[in-house]
Amino acid sequence: MSAESRFVVSPEWVAERLGTPGFSVVDASWYLPAYKRDGKSEYALSHIPGAVFFDHDEIADTTTGLPHSLPSPAFFASEMAKRGISETDTIVVYDGPGFFSAPRVWWMLRIMGAGDVYVLNGGFDGWKSAGRPIEAATPAPEPTTFIPDFRPDRVTSFEDMRKIVASGERQTADARGKGRFEAAEPEPRPGMRSGHMPGARNLPATAFSENGQFRSIDELKAILSEAGLDLEKPVVTSCGSGVTAAIITLALESVGHTDNSLYDGSWSEWGSRDDTAIVTGKA
């Protein structure tokens, strides 16, 4: 049997550790409007016992004009501390289906200084279907201290991205669906151009899991390579708004690729401007 990602943990692994000191669980559920699901409302109805909620739109830099931009290290740290999470904790992040928004928070925690962070295989949907314990009560964790150790090299800015596109010095992996990438389908956000950045490769986020289960290391390597990525060279991940790009990041880190960064503004920034190069059709 092929090896599994060292960053993905099973429900059994989580259940064995629930309630132990230094073990934190984060519900990071967030959905696009098309899903007709609301992460915060679902959390209020039921969640893994002791899990705290991470609101992508509140724990963000709201001054950028872009959706759920990466917050400052100080603000992120204060929000984690309020939720009883320390950078030294063992932290498990989950979302509803398994691999949609949870990898974004996994990535954020890691670039902010947490070293022991995982994503729950199968998500909360799988947890519930297996009959594992849930609760509706909102936990009241004891506030703690989160000491940030920010990794700016893991975040790509707009100006960085412009230089990368012009020079081709780093590979770009786009997690949006094929239709949006090729401009065969419109973007879900009004007024935004369709297509992709010159030189980008399309790796739809949905390819990396099946039925809520993250794919094996061998499968991940095949997906990444078949899309045209050279795993010996640096990669920038991107998507619609910086959320599902982290699924590619998770896949890259899982296969041992560490020279990667995430374009936080992603297509919400690039596609909304009138001074950026856009390509349509297949890459």
Tell me, what amino acid is at 184?
A: A
- What are 144-155's pLDDT values in tens digits? 999 999 999 999
Residue spans in the chain of domains classed CATH 3.40.250.10: 8-150, 153-270
* Cβ neighbourhood burial of 17 (10 Å; 0-12, 13-18, 19+): middle
pTM of this prediction exceeds 0.95: yes
What's the mean pLDDT when you consider all of the chain?
A: 96
CATH class of the structural domain 8-150: alpha beta
- What are 148-200's pLDDT values in tens digits? 999 999 999 999 999 999 999 999 999 999 999 999 999 988 889 999 999 99
User: Domain 153-270 in CATH: superfamily?
Assistant: Rhodanese-like domain (3.40.250.10)
- Whether 239 is catalytic: yes
* Cβ neighbourhood burial of 220 (10 Å; 0-12, 13-18, 19+): buried
Q: Which of 9, 236, 239, 245 is catalytic?
A: 239
